[in-house]
Amino acid sequence: MNGIIPKSKAKGTDFCGVNNYYYIIRSDLGYYMQSSNFNKGLDISIFSLHPACQNGDHYLGHEDGYFYIITGSSYRRVTDLTADSSAVAYSLHPNCQGGDHYLSAFGKFYIIFKGKGTYRRTTNMNRDSDAVEYDLHPNCRDGLYYWGLPNHYYFLKPASKWGVEYYKCTDLSEDECTDVYSVHPDVLNFLPGGLEPSD
């Protein structure tokens, strides 16, 4: 069994969430997966990424129903990754650039800087509004991928003797972990390196 390739080594691969769905973006393949439950592998669908929505450095979903595609020092906001609908581009505020992971939860945006062991919370990545920076709890620092839904953060942990698991928490600075789930094989197979059948 191969380990999961972390986001830092898999350009164009990312996790994000919007309302009741989780997404895995595989920009390198031109596709993304939608599922309502990564643990049970429910409601899995695969969609084609619109060319304008490919090659992002980071992808995140927000409770407003938009997807945000971050590339370099700017981001593109769309309502549909298959059609590039309602696309608008914005520059990223300098304080919001260079993050290792981007996610959204609780109506705000979070930018994780793994090297500093911190994360930044803001209500607007273009203006860096209402920004606060926090230390990332040591138990929350080793995520391979991070994503959010309206009321929780999630992160994928490196494979352990129990297999690949993801953590659900409410505070990345306090390690308020509410649940740990195993990842369904059908979901793992969509990840780079993952558990794809070897020749």
State mean pLDDT over 190-199.
66
User: Which residue's structure tokens are 């090659």?
Assistant: 55
Query: Contact at 8 Å (CB) between 32 and 25?
Result: yes
Global pTM value? 0.94
Give the model's pLDDT for residue 2: 59
pLDDT for 137-194, tens place per residue? Answer: 999 999 999 999 999 999 999 888 889 999 999 999 998 888 999 999 999 999 988 7
List the structure tokens of 168. 């659900």
User: Helix, strand, or coil here: 59?
Assistant: strand
Domains of the chain (ranges; CATH) run 7-188 (2.110.10.10)
Handedness of CA 66, 20, 47, 74 (dihedral sign): positive
